[in-house]
Structure 1
Amino acid sequence: MASLAPLDPASAYPAVIAGGRDRLAQIGHARQAILYGVGQVAGTAPVLESWIERSWQRCLARGKKPEQELIFEMLAPQTPRRTEEANHGLVQAARPVLEKLGQAIANTRYFAILTNAHGVVVDVNGQIDRRDRRVDLITRIGVDLSEQSVGTTAIGAALTELRSVWLHRGEHFFNANTAYSCAGAPLFGPDGECAGMLDLTGVDAVERPELKHLVEQSARSIENALMLNQPHRLLLRLNWSSRCLGEDTDGLICLDADGWVTGANPVARLMVAALTGTSGKTSKSPAAIHCSELLAIPFEMLFDAGRRDALGYQQALEVPLWSGLRLHALPLLEGSLQRMGGATPPAPPLPLKDVETALIRKAVTEARGNVMQAARALGISRATVYRRLGRQK
């Protein structure tokens, strides 16, 4: 078995020992209050999010102690191969995204980790320094990084809370994990169930909460790749009339030849309320739903539009929902995406600084110029937004 020895509190939280008031000090005070019952939690609310405390409490309920040695089970030689085989679909869908991520975050001390729905590592990418034991232990294919195994981490929290998270150093439960900073987002499959999670982790790295936005967007790309690999006869790309079709922000619905839904991505489930709670299985399943229950038009019209697209007459349709709302839809017959995908080569990866600036600019645009709202969404200060965009306050 391999393990990480617990850190000495004085070395892990020098600001706390010195009585400082920076972020690490506040986290340290929260640890003392919640994990050891020492001192008050007052003043820590803006730093410690409720899901972190919930995770800490779950760890305590399992009899874990922050100061105990963290044990990583040694993996059998065949474990990596078996893990990859068992998660082949997820790994194949995610690998192009992981490769771009690995290049984008190069030289930042962050790397990408992909796990299955149980928190078991199935793939990694980025500049991984195997000489650093803290890195090597968590980037082995087949290692269990679930909350039950290694306590509060972005991986365990994202899978338990089913939400994207940012976790910095002492916000991890075990003292041995307080060198890590990580962003994580869950991945949902075509059936609407959690299929795994994507994590960006740094060791002794500068805190970069904006990576939470990056990991969310990357998770969306993986979810869409899973959708495109789902068996279907027709793919519907959906978006509101004010948005352009063809982006990762599209809702995606897969239909079989008879119009039954075989899968939908999370965006589509938000756009079309009737999809909520459906499994996206075949028409033989009692949980299946037909396209005619989603859209107030004959489903044959969608297939006709898809056939016109196959002949080179691509045109989005305005389709009504039964609620009265309207969406733009681009129906694509099976095989159309492969032809489209081969026409445009992938763009070269951008440096992390440029990626971060683009994410900040996008957040400001989505907030309609409200810098404070964008800063809150990204988890950074308003001053940071102004500085990165070169704008005057």
Structure 2
Amino acid sequence: MGTLQNCLHADHIQSALSGSAAAQSALIASWRRSMRLYGLNPEEGTSPNVLTDRELQEARERLGSLIHTAQTSLDRLYSAVGGAGCCVLLADKDGVPVDRRGSASDDEVFYRMGLWTGAVWSEESEGTNGIGTALAEQRALTIHRDQHFLSRNTALSCTVAPIFDHRGRLMAAIDVSSARWDLTEDFVKLIAVAVVDAARRVEAENFRLAFPKARIVLAQGVGDPISDRTMHALIAVDEDDLVIGASRAARRLLGLNDEAMSKPLPAANLLGQHADAERELAAAERSVIQRVLASAGGNISLAAAMMGIGRATLHRKLKKLGIH
């Protein structure tokens, strides 16, 4: 980008920061952070900072199994957008890409721009940009061309969605970036849908892996329709029907925090299924007796012995529970 264009972009940002729209615009708020909090200059021309090989390896290790968990979603996403000259990045919560998909024919362009593993794309380092700003604001967004703070990044269009761990904490982000001048607004919207879907898929799989022995259910009440608000609200329920985990979406939907999650939470109560305790106990007892009877081949005396109770006691229970 030429010096004149750099100056024009810098003037545009300065004008926006002093204008009346500054209080309402999330983009301008990010520009303000870039300039006043981080002390960046829109005309800064140096490339992004890059981690050493060892630092990059440490960043990958801090993400643990997430990189492996995300492989299928990243591959699927790249198969959808790669043919349009886009690259796909998985970045950690510090804004460092740790995994990447891209076409060999586009690699030189993206490498030169810093869209590569190990580069630091935090908002503090690069100003307003897709990865850094999505992480700073913890929401999915697109930073399109001259919405970037630094003039050298204004050829890029970057769409990003954050990934939250099984406790609802920011963990990583998925980015799709393009340097094509003919990228249409409609295609950017399609990319946004695909990126958010990929991030939610990774979150769901990571959540399931965090609670391998639990039953994973949607956090919605009986009869409530599945909506965009609830379809990613997952809870993990143990064998005693107690909630032992909740995704970020579920925590927000149900008003849960770490303190609430540290106490026993009956799933039925949390989901508005206020079942009768006596009825639940009876159902549990009926289930146990029927399993023992099946194991005993229907022999009442043997079943009673297996449960450590008398034959007459078992007969009374069978009558009470309506088991014939």
Deviations, residues 198-218 of structure 1 (Å, cap 9, x unaligned): 111111341433122221222
Alpha-carbon offset, residue 153 of structure 1:
0.6
Residue 226 of structure 1, aligned match among 206, 231, 249: 206
CA distance 1:126–1:242, shift in 2 (3 Å): farther
Measured in 1, the distance between the counterparts of 2:112 and 2:238 equals: 44
Residue 8 of structure 1, aligned match among 2, 8, 14: 2
Alpha-carbon offset, residue 79 of structure 1:
3.6
Match of 2:172 in 1: 196
Residue 265 of structure 2, aligned match among 287, 290, 300: 290
Measured in 2, the distance between the counterparts of 1:84 and 1:261 equals: 31
State the SS of the aligned residue for 2:135: helix
- The residue type paired with residue 264 of structure 1 is A
Match of 1:57 in 2: 32
Contact 2:47 2:114 in 1 (8 A): no
State the SS of the aligned residue for 2:53: coil
Match of 2:196 in 1: 216
What number of residue pairs does the alignment pair up?
Answer: 271
Residue 175 of structure 1, aligned match among 128, 140, 151: 151
Measured in 2, the distance between the counterparts of 1:171 and 1:261 equals: 43
Alpha-carbon offset, residue 56 of structure 1:
0.8
- The residue type paired with residue 250 of structure 2 is A
Establish whether residue 186 from structure 1 lines up as the match of residue 162 from structure 2.
Answer: yes
CA distance 1:49–1:104, shift in 2 (3 Å): farther
Measured in 2, the distance between the counterparts of 1:230 and 1:102 equals: 26
Establish whether residue 127 from structure 1 lines up as the match of residue 109 from structure 2.
Answer: no
- The residue type paired with residue 249 of structure 2 is V
Q: What TM-score do the two structures reach when normalised by structure 1?
A: 0.59
Alpha-carbon offset, residue 189 of structure 1:
1.2
Contact 1:190 1:280 in 2 (8 A): no
Alpha-carbon offset, residue 185 of structure 1:
1.3
Alpha-carbon offset, residue 191 of structure 1:
0.4
Match of 1:272 in 2: 254
Measured in 2, the distance between the counterparts of 1:204 and 1:134 equals: 15
Deviations, residues 145-190 of structure 1 (Å, cap 9, x unaligned): 1111111111111111111111111100001111110111111111
Deviations, residues 204-258 of structure 1 (Å, cap 9, x unaligned): 341433122221222111110111111243223224646469xx92532113444
Measured in 2, the distance between the counterparts of 1:49 and 1:204 equals: 30
Residue 235 of structure 1, aligned match among 215, 220, 224: 215
Identity %: 25
Deviations, residues 122-164 of structure 1 (Å, cap 9, x unaligned): 2112435222255562222x32211111111111111111111
Measured in 1, the distance between the counterparts of 2:176 and 2:264 equals: 36
Match of 1:329 in 2: none
Establish whether residue 104 from structure 1 lines up as the match of residue 98 from structure 2.
Answer: no
Alpha-carbon offset, residue 51 of structure 1:
1.6
Alpha-carbon offset, residue 59 of structure 1:
1.1
Contact 1:260 1:288 in 2 (8 A): no
Contact 1:105 1:126 in 2 (8 A): no
Q: State the superposition RMSD in angstroms.
A: 3.6
Measured in 2, the distance between the counterparts of 1:74 and 1:223 equals: 27
State the SS of the aligned residue for 1:197: strand
Contact 1:192 1:280 in 2 (8 A): no
Match of 1:93 in 2: 69
Deviations, residues 32-67 of structure 1 (Å, cap 9, x unaligned): 5136x6xxx58x89xx97121111111111221100
Equivalent runs, 1:234-273 vs 2, <5 Å: 234-238=214-218, 239=220, 241=223, 243=225, 249-273=231-255
State the SS of the aligned residue for 2:71: helix
Structure exhibiting the larger radius of gyration computed from Cα positions: 2
Measured in 1, the distance between the counterparts of 2:207 and 2:80 equals: 24
State the SS of the aligned residue for 1:91: helix
Alpha-carbon offset, residue 270 of structure 1:
4.2
Alpha-carbon offset, residue 83 of structure 1:
2.6
Contact 2:89 2:175 in 1 (8 A): yes
Contact 2:130 2:158 in 1 (8 A): yes
Contact 2:242 2:265 in 1 (8 A): yes
CA distance 1:31–1:136, shift in 2 (3 Å): closer
Contact 1:190 1:263 in 2 (8 A): yes
Contact 1:115 1:196 in 2 (8 A): yes
CA distance 1:184–1:266, shift in 2 (3 Å): same
Stretch deviating more after TM superposition (100-109 or 197-206): 197-206
State the SS of the aligned residue for 2:95: coil
